[in-house]
Amino acid sequence: MTVETIHRLWDDLSDFDVSQSVAAAAHLMAALCGASNAWNGTWAGAIRLADATCLDPLQGWRVGAVQALHAIEPHPDEGHFKEILRVWDRREIDPSFLLPMRGVGTFRTYSFRRELPAEWFASDFYARHYGSVGTHDAVFVAFPLNDDCESHFGFYSTRTFTDEEIALLAYALRGIKWFHRQLLLGCGLLLASTPLTSTEREVLQLLLTKAPEKEIARNKGIAASTAHQHVTSIFRKFGVRSRAELMSLWLNSGG
């Protein structure tokens, strides 16, 4: 993948409507997996909770949303990756969990084979969560949006990533701050007072298409009153009073 190809990929992303963030992220991950010989990719939105204690080695960070390019059987959707996150939330600290803590708040890359000791690859944790599905190495690119919110892309390979591949991934993800912001907005992780529920995220995507509430209700198979409750909750969490104000958050997302 050349620099020009990466720039065309950025152009592709800008052609997706704001309601198509899931599809846009999948398009980006598929392109970068192909360019780096990775078999799978993930995106995760991370937030830092205000009530973190000084004894927390993960500094209050939680993963508020995750999207995988390819589901891993037998887990539906992102179940395999969410299993790892449940261990994270229980604070059962694995050495791999400490990698993203290095340089928090800065743009950075981190990877398994470059930064974890050889004995980690003989651990039960690696065998269960990575080796069992064919992951030999993983590399991550972290983009901070503010002190308490970061966007992380992960790529998984059956071999060790080269320095050139890691540099390519970093370059491709460094120049699209607007897109990282859009992904985090879509999950309610950047401006919302409370992260959106999975149903609210689905309703939000429909709201951004300008679909009326009755159409949202039909699409989701729920009562119109229930759809209205979800819309009201979304507005409250984002601190807006109308769909126009909600849309403006995306329209003003440049930079």
Beta strands in 91-248 (DSSP E): 108-111, 137-146, 149-157
- Dihedrals phi, psi of 42, to nearest 5 degrees: -140, 155
Q: Match 């790529």 to its residue by tokens.
A: 155
Final residue before a domain boundary, out of 176, 211, 240: 176
18 and 53 inside one domain: yes
State how far the Cα of 29 lies from the Cα of 31, in Å rounded to an integer: 5
Supply the CATH number for residue 221's domain.
Answer: 1.10.10.10
Final residue before a domain boundary, out of 125, 143, 176: 176
The per-residue pLDDT string of the chain (255 residues; one tens digit each, 9 = 90 and over) reads: 889 999 999 999 999 987 788 899 999 999 999 999 999 999 999 888 766 566 778 888 888 888 999 877 655 555 567 778 777 777 788 899 999 999 989 999 999 999 999 999 999 999 999 999 999 999 999 999 888 889 999 999 999 999 999 999 999 999 999 999 889 888 877 766 677 787 888 888 888 887 888 998 988 888 989 989 998 988 888 888 888 878 777 766 543
Chain centroid, CA 44 distance in Å: 2
DSSP symbol at 94: -
183 domain residue, yes or no: no
89 domain residue, yes or no: yes
192 domain residue, yes or no: no
133 and 246 inside one domain: no
169 and 213 inside one domain: no
pLDDT tens track for 206-222: 888 878 889 989 888 88
182 domain residue, yes or no: no
122 and 237 inside one domain: no
Q: Please say whether the beta carbons of 140 and 152 come within 8 A.
A: yes
pLDDT tens track for 6-59: 999 999 999 998 778 889 999 999 999 999 999 999 999 988 876 656 677 888
Q: Please say whether the beta carbons of 29 and 38 come within 8 A.
A: no
First-last CA distance in the chain: 25
Helix residue spans in 121-212 (DSSP H): 124-129, 163-174, 177-186, 198-207
185 domain residue, yes or no: no
204 and 241 inside one domain: yes
160 and 58 inside one domain: yes
10 and 93 inside one domain: yes
132 and 64 inside one domain: yes
Supply the CATH number for residue 91's domain.
Answer: 3.30.450.80
208 domain residue, yes or no: yes
Count: domains in the chain: 2
- What domain range includes position 161? 3-176
How much is the pTM? 0.80
User: Is the CA virtual torsion 87, 65, 137, 164 positive or negative?
Assistant: negative
29 and 108 inside one domain: yes
22 and 113 inside one domain: yes
What tokens appear for 2 in the block?
């050349």
Q: Match 């990282």 to its residue by tokens.
A: 180
24 domain residue, yes or no: yes
38 and 113 inside one domain: yes
For helices 163-174 and 3-15, give the axis angle rounded to 10 degrees.
Answer: 40
117 domain residue, yes or no: yes
CA dist list (Å): 189 to 34, 61, 69, 92: 28, 12, 20, 24
Strand order in 61-68's β-sheet?
Answer: 61-68, 40-48, 149-157, 137-146, 108-111
108 and 53 inside one domain: yes
